[in-house]
Amino acid sequence: MNAPLFNQVGKIVASFDAEKARADFEILSRTVYGKPLVYLDSGASAQKPRVVLDTMRDFAQSEYANVHRGVHFLSAAATDRYEAARRTVQKFLNAAREDEIIFTKGGTEAINLVSYSYLAPTIQPGDEIVLSVMEHHSNIVPWHFLRERAGAVLKWVDVRDDGSLDIEALDAAITAKTKLVAVTHMSNVLGTVTPLKEIIARAHAKGVPVLADGCQSAVHDIVDVQALDVDFYAVTGHKLYGPTGIGALYAKRAHLKAMRPFNGGGEMIREVMKDRITYADAPARFEAGTPPIIETVGLATALDYLSSFDRAAVAAHEHDLLAYAREQVRQFNWLRVIGDAPGKGAILSFEADGMHAHDLATILDREGVAVRAGHHCAQVLMERFNVTSTSRASFALYNTRADVDALVAGLSKARGILS
């Protein structure tokens, strides 16, 4: 049995109990179309536990004020909560310093910040950015901006037929012209977990920094940015059982000191005169304007909530769900699972013969089962597997085998309707 941990209120939490955790999410008790809700779209956005919603409401009702700018009681209290949230993210990612954590609107803005502030000032025509074909559009489009505007070259690393990354091909793609490797830590479509530590070591051996999209991986596994030695790591709150509109970028302090501001406005300056301006140090330099204060407090609570569980036990539970689902769908010879890389995360993507993904998802929806359908903001990967869209079931800590059974029953019904 896993050793017990203490949660944010000091209560001992034993080994993970999915049914008990499920009770923390009030939305899961509702029905849709007269059927119990089976939510299998957490890869897009996770549901929020009661403690996150309550904390955000309580903070707004009793402590809210703008941060960093006031000397009155509420402003000081709100500032304390805001900066405490930064320390919570620092601890969650095991960053060495709290000023290496930049609050953003989400993972997308975090990656765009690196593109604009770190790479754009020095990129030259012909300079290379190495990507994998399984990147989310958030980790593709910002680099296309540099291709369009500065003449950068995007170099693509393929995946094998099982969805695993070809690391030897990635290593070979890094040349003297490579300025950055930008790679997902866990694919939002395939669930593939990339060998990030090895990728970083190989890139660093050639003097190349690495950005990791951690929006999926940080939910399902413990992330240690110091042990990884990663240069940049992006996460988003709404997948981590927190609110939308808040995320974070981890960046090594040496990089942050050299990076230009992303947005201009209040808070990110040191001095503004008619003929000159000086900028604040990180993190303020990259947090212009009034931040999403309530959402930041909610993110900290969500991370505390997730950390209150034995993360290894949660991961084992999610992997059990994936293995169970994978075994159950073997009965359907008309269904093709896309991505079976060893050690993959709890995501099941599939296409069905003669059924468009949206039609299949619509029938599942009428059975109360919420899955994702489409290209999942990963059109390059869709092209690699010669599909236009897939259906995707993504599992979270609050899912159970009964949810998998509902999915399988829905698939069987859809086959009868659409075949």
Cα 20 from Cα 41, distance rounded (Å): 20
Cα 268 from Cα 289, distance rounded (Å): 8
Q: Which residue has the tokens 């998998």?
A: 404
CATH class of the domain defined by 54-307? alpha beta
The type of residue at 218 is: A
Cα 154 from Cα 299, distance rounded (Å): 34
Active site residues: 377
Superfamily of domain 5-49+310-418: Aspartate Aminotransferase, domain 1 (3.90.1150.10)
pTM greater than 0.75 (yes/no): yes
Mean pLDDT of the chain: 95
Give pLDDT tens digits for 222-249: 999 999 999 999 999 999 999 999 999 9
Q: Which residue has the tokens 């601890």?
A: 91
pLDDT by residue for the chain (419 residues), tens only, comes to 233 333 443 443 447 899 999 999 999 999 999 999 999 999 999 999 999 999 999 999 999 999 997 889 999 999 999 999 999 999 999 999 999 999 999 999 999 999 999 999 999 999 999 999 999 999 999 999 999 999 999 999 999 999 999 999 999 999 999 999 999 999 999 999 999 999 999 999 999 999 999 999 999 999 999 999 999 999 999 999 999 999 999 999 999 999 999 999 988 999 999 999 999 999 999 999 999 999 999 999 999 999 999 999 999 999 999 999 999 999 999 999 999 999 999 999 999 999 999 999 999 999 999 999 999 999 999 999 999 999 999 999 999 999 999 999 999 999 999 87
Extents of the domains making up the chain: 5-49+310-418, 54-307
